[in-house]
C-alpha cells in the first residue's frame, strides 16, 4: 500500500508598502519560508486581502489611497477575516498611531522603521504559530 503524504503548504504573507524597496527586501527575506506577495497601496491591499486571504499582512501606516490602520480596521470588521494576523510598520510610529492600532488590532505587532530584521522575522513566526 502506498501512502500519500499530505503536501505541506506554505503560509501566505502579504506585504503592503508604497516603498518598493521595503516590499522587495521583505519579500526576499521571507520567501524562503513563506509564500509572499506584495502590493503598494491601501486600495490594492483591500483587494488582495479579500481575494487571497493571507495568513499574515505586513502593512505600512502611511500609504496612498487608504492608510494601513484603516485597511486593517475594515478587514477585521468582517468575522470571516478574524484569523488574519497583522504587523504594522511605520516610519512615523507616534503614540497616537500606536494607540489607534491597539484599538483596531488584536494579536498584532508593530515595528518602527528602520526595524530590526531578526525581530521582525521572529514576530512573523510568532504570529503564524499562534
Locate the domains of the chain by residue range. 12-129
| pLDDT of 2 | 59
Q: How far is 66 from 34, CA to CA, in rounded Å?
A: 26
For 79-112, how does the pLDDT look when each residue is reduced to its tens digit (9 = 90+)? 777 889 999 998 877 778 777 777 777 668 888 8
Cα 38 → chain centroid: 10
Percent of the chain with pLDDT strictly greater than 70: 92
The b-or-e profile of 88-98 (16+ CB within 10 A means b, else e) is bbbeebeeebe
Give the architecture (CATH level 2) of 12-129: 3-Layer(aba) Sandwich (3.40)
For 7-62, how does the pLDDT look when each residue is reduced to its tens digit (9 = 90+)? 568 999 999 999 999 999 999 999 999 999 999 999 999 999 999 999 999 999 88
Closest CA relative to residue 107, chosen from 91, 125, 83, 90: 83
* pLDDT band, very low/low/confident/very high, at 128 (cuts 50, 70, 90): very high
Amino acid at each position: 500500500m502506498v501512502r500519500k503524504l499530505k503536501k505541506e503548504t506554505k503560509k501566505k504573507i502579504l506585504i503592503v508598502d508604497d516603498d518598493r524597496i521595503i516590499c522587495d527586501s521583505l519579500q526576499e527575506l521571507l520567501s524562503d519560508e513563506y509564500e509572499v506577495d506584495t502590493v503598494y497601496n491601501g486600495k490594492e491591499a483591500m483587494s488582495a486581502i479579500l481575494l487571497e486571504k493571507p495568513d499574515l499582512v505586513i502593512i505600512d501606516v502611511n500609504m496612498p489611497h487608504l492608510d494601513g490602520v484603516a485597511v486593517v480596521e475594515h478587514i477585521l470588521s468582517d468575522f470571516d477575516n478574524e484569523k488574519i494576523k497583522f504587523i504594522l510598520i511605520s516610519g512615523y510610529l507616534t503614540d497616537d498611531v500606536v494607540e489607534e492600532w491597539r484599538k483596531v488590532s488584536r494579536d498584532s505587532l508593530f515595528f518602527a522603521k528602520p526595524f530590526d530584521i531578526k525581530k521582525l522575522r521572529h514576530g512573523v513566526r510568532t504570529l503564524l504559530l499562534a
